[in-house]
Chain A
Amino acid sequence: MSNKKFVFVVFATVSIALSLAGCGKKTGEEATVDTKSSSPAGGGASAYNESMGTATVTGKVAFTGPAPEKTKIQMSSEPSCLSQHKGPLYAQEGEINANGTLPFVFVYVKEGAEKWTFPTPSNPVTIDQKGCRYEPHVFGIQPNQKLVILNSDPILHNIHTYAKENAPFNLGMPTQGMKFERDFKKAEMPPISIKCDVHKWMVSYAGVVPHPFYSVTGVDGAFTLKGLPPGEYSIEAWHEKYPSQIQKVTVGDKETKELTFTFQG
C-alpha cells in the first residue's frame, strides 16, 4: 500500500469511528424507565406494614452563631429566569429562617430501620428546573422510586447527578416542557449532588434512603418522621454546608419524641 493510500485509510477509519461515536441517543429523547421494585434491606428483614408504624419523631433544626455570608447569584445572562424572581437571589446553602432555624436540612433514620423491607412507592418524586433553580433544593427518594425531571424554563439546562454509589447521568434539556424519568437503584447518603453545569448556581441534593423515614426542613425549620415502629433509632441531620449531626432516640408504641438539632455557624 502506498503512503498516500495508507494515510487515506487511516483518516477514513478514524472519521467513521468519530461518526459512530456521535450517533448515540439524541438529546431530548424520552427515556424508558425501569420501575422494578427492589428489596432495600438485607437478608433476614421482614416486610413493614403500616400498622407497625405508631411512633413519631419530630423536632426542629436550630442555627446559632453568626449568619453565613450570602453568596449572590449573577443571573443577568438569563433574563427569562431573572424575571421570575423578585429582588436579588442568593445561594440557598446560606439561607437561615427568620425564626433562627435552618432550612434544607435532610433529617432521616440512619440506623434502626434495617430490620424491615419497604415497598417502592408508586408516586414519583418530581424535580423541576424553574427560574434557573431546582425545585426542590433538597429532597428524599427511595431506591427504584420514579424521579420525574422537568424543564419549565424556556432555556437549555443539563441535569447531571454526581452519584458515588449509583450510576451518574447527565441529560441535556434544551427546550421548555421537556421531561425525563429516571431512578436511583441504590440507597445513597450523603445525598447525590444534582447540578446544572451550564448554570453553576443550580444545585439540588437527593437523599436516597431505603425507607420512608425522612423529612426536609422548610421555612419553619421543623421536621417530622412518622410511621416509625417502636424501637431505637439513630437520626441524622444533614446539611450541604455544615457538619452532619446524629442523635439517638428510643420511641415506644404511639409515642412522639421531640429532638432539636443545633447547627453552629
Chain B
Amino acid sequence: MIQSEPAGRQGVADPYGQGLYQPYLHRFAVLTAAASVILIAAGAAVTSTGSGDAVPDWPLAYGAVFPRMVGGVLIEHSHRLLAGLTSILIGVLGLWLWAKEARRWTKWIGGIACLAVLAQALLGGLRVLIISQESLQAAALRLSGLGHINPVRIGVAAAHAFLAQVVLCLTFTLATVTSRAWLGFAAVGKPRSFRAGRWLIAVMVLVVFAQLILGALMRHMGAGLVIPDFPLAFGHWVPPFVNLPLDARAPFPLTREDLLWQVLVHYSHRVVALFVMLLVVGLMIRGKRRRDSESISGRVIGLIAALTLTQVSLGAAIIWTKKAMPVTVAHVTIGALLLGACISLALWSWRAPGAPSEVRSSLPLGTMEVLPQ
C-alpha cells in the first residue's frame, strides 16, 4: 500500500524535501508527456501535408466545433482537437500538483506548463489568423515594419514550434520528478555515479533543443529539400555558398538571398546533427568508463543513442524519399522523444549530488533508508 506521509516525517534523510510517491499522479504525468509527443507528431503531419491553413478560422473550424473531417481539415482539426486534449491534461495535471504535491517547485513547473500550453494554443491560432484575417495581417505588418507577411508567418510558426518543445520539456520534467525512482523508492543503480557528466548532458539538452528549433524553422521555410543530396551537399561536404545553383528559369525561382538562407538553415541542421552524434558518443564513453550500463542514466544513455541513430537515419531518408510524409512525421516525433530523454537524463544527473547515494529497492513503499557511504 502507498503511504501518504512525507518521508521526512519518518525521520529519514530527505535532502530535497520531496513528498511521497503518488502513483496515479505519476501515471497521469506520463500520460500527459506522451500526449505532448503525440501532439508534436500531429503538428508535424500538419506541416508535412501543408494543411495548416485548411481551416481559415480559429478557434472554431468553419464556424463549427466539429466540421466535416475531410482532407486537410481532417489533419488540421485533429491537431487542434489533440491540442485541446493535451491542454486539458496539462491543466488537470497542474491543478493536481497544486492540490496534492508537497514540493513547491513542482507545483510551479505545473503552473508554468499550464501557461505555456495556453500560449502555445494562442500562437497556433495566431499562425492561422495572420493569413486569413486581413485586419490582423495589416496590424502585424504595421507592427513589424515588414513589407510582406511571410517572414512574420514563419516567425510565428517557429515560435509555435519552440513553445511545443518547451511544453514537452515541462511535461517530461513532471513525469520524471513524480516517478517512484526519482523520489528514492526502488531506485535502480547509482544516479550519483553520473554526476561528473552533468555538464555534458546539459549541453546535450541545449543542443538538441536548438536542433529541433532549427528543424522547425527549416520546415516552415520550406527548405527541407533545398539541399537535394545526402550525405553530401550539392556534391560537396560543404555547400558552395558563394556559387549556389540558382535556377532563374524555374517555374517558381528563389531569389539568391532566399536560397542562401534556406541552404544555411538546412546545412546548420545537418552540422548540429553531427554535433549531437558526437555528444552521444561522449556520453556513451563516459557511461562505459563508469560501468553505468545498468543504472538509470546508463539505460537513458542507451535510449538516447538508439534514438539519435534512428533520427539521423530518418533525416537521411527524408532527403532520399523527397520528404515522404510518414518519414517526416517520424523524424519530428523521434526528435521530440530524444529531447524528452535528454531532459530526463539531465534531471537525473543534476539531482544526483545531494540525492541518497543508494536506496534499497526491497524496502516497503513509503519508507526510505539511506545506506552508509
Q: A residues engaging B (CB < 8 A)?
A: 3, 7, 10-11, 14, 17-18, 21-22, 24-28, 77-78, 155-156, 158, 160, 164-165, 167-172, 174, 190, 193, 195-200, 238-245
What are 17 residue pairs bridging A and B, where the CB atoms are less than 8 Å apart in the complex? Answer: A7-B111, A18-B118, A22-B57, A24-B135, A24-B136, A25-B133, A26-B63, A156-B67, A167-B149, A170-B131, A170-B132, A172-B55, A197-B53, A197-B72, A239-B251, A240-B251, A244-B249
Question: Of the candidates B56, B122, B253, which one forms a contact with A190 in the assembled complex, judged by CB atoms under 8 Å apart?
Answer: B253
Neighbouring A residues of B67 by C-beta, 8 Å: 156, 174
Neighbouring A residues of B73 by C-beta, 8 Å: 156, 198
Q: Which of B49-65 contact A (CB under 8 A)?
A: 49-60, 62-63
Report the Cα distance A198→B149, complex, angstroms: 22
Neighbouring B residues of A165 by C-beta, 8 Å: 148
Question: Is B51's CB under 8 angstroms from A197's CB?
Answer: yes
Question: Of the candidates A169, A198, A241, which one forms a contact with B70 in the assembled complex, judged by CB atoms under 8 Å apart?
Answer: A198
Q: How far is the CB of B289 from chain A (nearest CB, A)?
A: 46
Neighbouring A residues of B250 by C-beta, 8 Å: 243-244
Query: Which B residue sits closest to A163, measured CB to CB?
Result: B148
Q: B residues engaging A (CB < 8 A)?
A: 49-60, 62-63, 67-68, 70-73, 76, 98, 111, 114-115, 118-119, 121-122, 125-126, 129, 131-137, 148-150, 247, 249-253
Neighbouring B residues of A199 by C-beta, 8 Å: 71-72
Question: Is A198's CB under 8 angstroms from B71's CB?
Answer: yes
Neighbouring A residues of B62 by C-beta, 8 Å: 27, 156, 172, 174
Question: Of the candidates A17, A160, A242, which one forms a contact with B251 in the assembled complex, judged by CB atoms under 8 Å apart?
Answer: A242
Residue of A14, A165, A174 with highest tally of chain B CB at under 10 A: A174
Question: Is B50's CB under 8 angstroms from A22's CB?
Answer: no
| Count of A-B contacts judged by CB separation below 8 Å | 123
Neighbouring B residues of A242 by C-beta, 8 Å: 251
Question: Is B49's CB under 8 angstroms from A21's CB?
Answer: no
Question: Is A172's CB under 8 angstroms from B59's CB?
Answer: no
Question: Is A18's CB under 8 angstroms from B122's CB?
Answer: yes
Q: How far is the CB of A137 from chain B (nearest CB, A)?
A: 14
Neighbouring A residues of B56 by C-beta, 8 Å: 27, 158, 160, 170-172
Q: How far is the CB of A90 from chain B (nearest CB, A)?
A: 18
Question: Is A21's CB under 8 angstroms from B249's CB?
Answer: no
Query: Which A residue sits closest to B247, measured CB to CB?
Result: A243
Question: Is A158's CB under 8 angstroms from B54's CB?
Answer: yes
Neighbouring A residues of B134 by C-beta, 8 Å: 25, 167, 169
Neighbouring B residues of A197 by C-beta, 8 Å: 50-54, 72, 76
User: Can you add 11 more A-B contacts, CB < 8 Å, to A78-B70, A172-B55, A199-B71?
Assistant: A3-B98, A18-B122, A22-B125, A156-B68, A167-B134, A167-B148, A168-B150, A169-B134, A198-B72, A239-B251, A243-B247
Question: Is A155's CB under 8 angstroms from B126's CB?
Answer: no
Report the Cα distance A7→B108, complex, angstroms: 11
Report the Cα distance A195→B57, complex, angstroms: 16
Question: Of the candidates B55, B114, B126, B150, which one forms a contact with A164 in the assembled complex, judged by CB atoms under 8 Å apart?
Answer: B150
Question: Of the candidates A22, A241, A243, which one forms a contact with B58 in the assembled complex, judged by CB atoms under 8 Å apart?
Answer: A22
Question: Is B150's CB under 8 angstroms from A200's CB?
Answer: no
Question: Is A238's CB under 8 angstroms from B149's CB?
Answer: no
A-B residue pairs, 6 tightest by C-beta:
A243-B249, A197-B54, A170-B132, A172-B56, A198-B71, A197-B72
Report the Cα distance A14→B91, complex, angstroms: 13
Given A160-B53, A170-B132, A22-B68 contact (CB < 8 Å): no
Question: Is B57's CB under 8 angstroms from A24's CB?
Answer: yes
Q: How far is the CB of A194 from chain B (nearest CB, A)?
A: 12
Residue of B71, B129, B136, B150 with highest tally of chain A CB at under 10 A: B71
Query: Which B residue sits closest to A7, measured CB to CB?
Result: B111
Neighbouring A residues of B111 by C-beta, 8 Å: 7
Residue of B51, B56, B121 with highest tally of chain A CB at under 10 A: B56
Neighbouring B residues of A155 by C-beta, 8 Å: 68, 70
Question: Of the candidates B119, B129, B131, B247, which one forms a contact with A21 in the assembled complex, judged by CB atoms under 8 Å apart?
Answer: B129
Question: Is A200's CB under 8 angstroms from B251's CB?
Answer: no
Q: How far is the CB of B326 from chain A (nearest CB, A)?
A: 16
